[in-house]
Structure 1
Amino acid sequence: MFLASDAPAATKPAYVVVPNAVGASASIGRGIVGTTLSTLNQYHSLLLRRPLDQGLLVDGELQSFIWDSVLQHFTIVDEQSIDLLFTLPIGTPEAVSEQWVSALMLGFRFRSVTIVSSSFLALVGAEVLHGTPTTGTGIVVDCGFSGCTITPYVAYRPMRSSIGRTLVGGKLLTNCLKETLSFSQMNLLEDTWIVNCIKESCCRVAEEGGPLSLQRMLKAASRKRARDDADDVASPTAAVGGPLVYALPTVPAAMPAGCIAQPQQLKGCFRDAQTVKVAHESFIIPEVLFSPCDVGLDSSLGVVEVYQHVVCSERTLLAQLSLVSPSVCRNTVVFGGTSNLPGFVSRFQKDVTADSCQSLIAGAPVVRSTAVEGDVPSISSVLGAASSRSIKHRTQELLPLVGIKALMTATSGHLAGLRSDMQQRGGVVVKGTPKQALESFQKAVSRLL
């Protein structure tokens, strides 16, 4: 959600990143929301309610409650001076549109409302970061919480008939890790937040897929475990390492969600702490993104398989347009929280490049993301904010924010034209009757960029 108002920039933060969820805990209480949810001193047995499920709104009242906390963070008293822009997935059903209109009309009185897809904003943000030609042509891979969506764009227009989606995302990875650790070591079924932190700190994507590659990593991890080298540094980005030891929050105030324990600390300050070992789970769990059948999801495709279907299947419009397909496939933008896993972008590019159907395309695809090191400007420098740990670990998630800032701050030229097109296609009538609002919302969804 992006808010634009007439207030001076110095009187409000440039942006705020908050979980789209409401928490409840026996030790703290209910209604934990906004920045408070990210700064608790106790995450044990924290329960979360989310207004969205698989990217679709299921609880409008809960979403309004979260929006209200965001407005309070920006010290906005009267929302009638606010232009609201929020993202929706392309192809939102009509039943969900009614919930969105209800949340917008009953709870708030925004000056204007515009809807757009996060994929479109990520495409613009990638062009701004990488300085690529502003053609608006490419494939956008959104690896999010509920699943992965792959959307091809031609001249900033989504090819709706060629969009692919799989319900394999960060939520599934967290649940798989939670069940695995609870079965083998310690009951963590009620500690979803802590397990999610373990996933983000310890998991990494293997350089190559297939049973032989995973077996080599398992054997290497076993050899390193047997050596028990005291000088080893536990690092989630190591190519092949021994089991990472994660210290659970025994002293909540000191480390609310726990942290990776270094070998020296296990003999010192963490000697009596509760710990879990993350060995082969660190690369077996992320492998579900590429092979969902490993956890019994035989009907779901991996992210690379969905990409192949979008590009190569004869049923998609993109595969039929032989003149357009090569230019689209050469520019692939990857974003989303799940793509923050170390090694994901390089593995995705390797698997896509090795695909046999890429022989139909002149030249290998170029996968772009904020995770690629080089001369790409940092997210914090583009957003004009001081670098922090939250920004450093959320570079992939904040790519759409770079796109919307570039669009909303443009005074003329190409980006200003895109902004006008976005507002015209995604504008919603909010000052009429509920029926008029619903009709304009559904029309905006059908024309969503």
Structure 2
Amino acid sequence: MYENTKIRVDFADTSVVITEPYFNFTSIQESMNEILFEEYQFQSALRINAGSLSAHHYFHTNPSELCCMVVDTGFSFTHIAPYCRRRKMKESIRRINVGGKLLTNHLKEIISYRQLHVMDETHVINQVKEDVCYVSQHFYKDMEIAQAKGEENTVMRDYVLPDFSSIKKGFCKPREEMVFSGKYKTGEQILRLANERFAVPEMLFHPSDIGIQEMGIPEAIVHSVESLPEEMQPHFYRNVVLTGGNTLFPGFRERLEAELRALVPAHLPVSVMLPANPVCYAWEGGKLLAHNPDYDEMVVMREDYEENGHCICEEKFDI
């Protein structure tokens, strides 16, 4: 097969760990089983949630902890998932339909309305979002600054768009090089961004600001924890783990911890942990899991699948 030669792997001798969202449709799970075992014929497979891999990573590096709350905020949505003794508490998982895709689309709409039509430039505007957006610690105060004129507006940034000939990748102009009156002499195409920088990530905390009737992340965490037995609740507030690309916005961890502190009873400790690489945190958890002595007990072997079909996967994979 072409795939075999390309990645130099013999699937028949290979075990695969593949992630899927919480509460995935049964039809999709069965299709995935067929692809893994019938089309590619992997020796064994483990289907698991990314949050479970993140929890495994956290418990591996913090062996004294019994509970953790994984906040996984990625491209399509945000999941709040509590884990106790390495098992997920299914009934308390919460999903918010706000992710990086929605933020990028909202930024495209704002820029297209105010400055330049960019509705077809998803990749470029996604890069703009990652380069200049941040989470405000004092939203209304930042709003006042963003309305100031000239150099008093410390929020304002100029972003140079790529032309894909001399400028391959867009970049933010250094503050000292910004022109506050008149135009730039160069032929660069500039986006001037002010309150967009913090108003877009604000949707993660208050989706209702743009008419999405959902909880923000701090509220969803509290909603999840309060559905758990009371004696367990302090352990979850003390071990909130952030994963996913949206957690890379500057100020995200601090703002979440501050908002949680305001919502949680004063006598309970609150601690929010941002890993060094939150995007790869689940992958690193999968790497640790693959070296776990119990790994062989968790997977489904191809022979078992061929003999028992999808039901063996339902039994083994607690998705």
What is the TM-score when the length of structure 1 is the normalising length?
Answer: 0.64
Q: Which of 199, 217, 221 pairs up with 1:284?
A: 199
Query: d(CA) in 2 for partners of 1:97 and 1:174?
Result: 29
Query: d(CA) in 2 for partners of 1:182 and 1:428?
Result: 50
Secondary structure of residue in 2 paired with 1:333: strand
Map of 1:387-406 to 2, 5 A cutoff?
Answer: 395-406=277-288
Counterpart residue identity of residue 424, structure 1: E
Matched, 1:444 2:316: yes
Cα deviation, residue 265, structure 1 = 5.4
1:115 to 1:249, Cα distance in 2 relative to 1, 3 A: same
Tell me the C-alpha RMSD between the 2 structures.
2.6
Cα deviation, residue 366, structure 1 = 1.3
* Partners of 2:73 and 2:79 within 8 A in 1: yes
Cα deviation, residue 163, structure 1 = 0.8
Cα deviation, residue 242, structure 1 = 3.0
Query: d(CA) in 1 for partners of 2:251 and 2:10?
Result: 45
Secondary structure of residue in 2 paired with 1:354: helix
- For 1:328, the equivalent position in structure 2 comes to 236
The count of corresponding residues between Structure 1 and Structure 2 is: 315
1:322 to 1:245, Cα distance in 2 relative to 1, 3 A: same
Query: d(CA) in 2 for partners of 1:219 and 1:261?
Result: 22
1:354 to 1:435, Cα distance in 2 relative to 1, 3 A: farther
Cα deviation, residue 369, structure 1 = 1.4
Counterpart residue identity of residue 281, structure 2: L
Matched, 1:199 2:129: yes
- For 1:122, the equivalent position in structure 2 comes to 54
Q: Which of 253, 263, 277 pairs up with 1:345?
A: 253
1:256 to 1:363, Cα distance in 2 relative to 1, 3 A: same
What are the Cα deviations for residues 380-408 of structure 1, in whole angstroms up to 9, with x where unaligned?
xxxxxxxxxxxxxxx21111122223333
* Partners of 1:141 and 1:148 within 8 A in 2: yes
Counterpart residue identity of residue 194, structure 2: A
Query: d(CA) in 2 for partners of 1:351 and 1:179?
Result: 28
1:290 to 1:265, Cα distance in 2 relative to 1, 3 A: same
Matched, 1:261 2:173: yes
- For 2:114, the equivalent position in structure 1 comes to 184
Counterpart residue identity of residue 81, structure 1: D
- For 2:87, the equivalent position in structure 1 comes to 157
Range moving further from structure 2, 184-193 or 325-334: 325-334
Cα deviation, residue 253, structure 1 = 4.5
- For 1:111, the equivalent position in structure 2 comes to 43
* Partners of 2:98 and 2:204 within 8 A in 1: yes
- For 1:271, the equivalent position in structure 2 comes to 186
* Partners of 1:248 and 1:259 within 8 A in 2: yes
* Partners of 1:94 and 1:442 within 8 A in 2: no
- For 2:211, the equivalent position in structure 1 comes to 296
| Structure 2 spans left out of the alignment, 5+ residues | none
What is the TM-score when the length of structure 2 is the normalising length?
Answer: 0.89
Cα deviation, residue 269, structure 1 = 9.5
- For 2:22, the equivalent position in structure 1 comes to 90
Q: Which of 273, 284, 301 pairs up with 1:368?
A: 273
Query: d(CA) in 1 for partners of 2:5 and 2:168?
Result: 25
Matched, 1:243 2:159: no
Q: Which of 115, 129, 150 pairs up with 1:226?
A: 150
Secondary structure of residue in 2 paired with 1:324: helix
1:256 to 1:436, Cα distance in 2 relative to 1, 3 A: farther
What are the Cα deviations for residues 216-239 of structure 1, in whole angstroms up to 9, with x where unaligned?
21221333x4227xxxxxxxxxxx
Query: d(CA) in 2 for partners of 1:408 and 1:432?
Result: 19
Counterpart residue identity of residue 345, structure 1: R
1:88 to 1:274, Cα distance in 2 relative to 1, 3 A: same
Cα deviation, residue 331, structure 1 = 1.1
- For 1:146, the equivalent position in structure 2 comes to 76
Secondary structure of residue in 1 paired with 2:230: coil
- For 1:9, the equivalent position in structure 2 comes to none
Query: d(CA) in 2 for partners of 1:78 and 1:254?
Result: 43
1:94 to 1:365, Cα distance in 2 relative to 1, 3 A: same
Cα deviation, residue 311, structure 1 = 1.5
The structure, 1 or 2, with the larger RCO (C-alpha pairs under 8 Å, 6+ apart) is: 2
* Partners of 2:17 and 2:286 within 8 A in 1: no
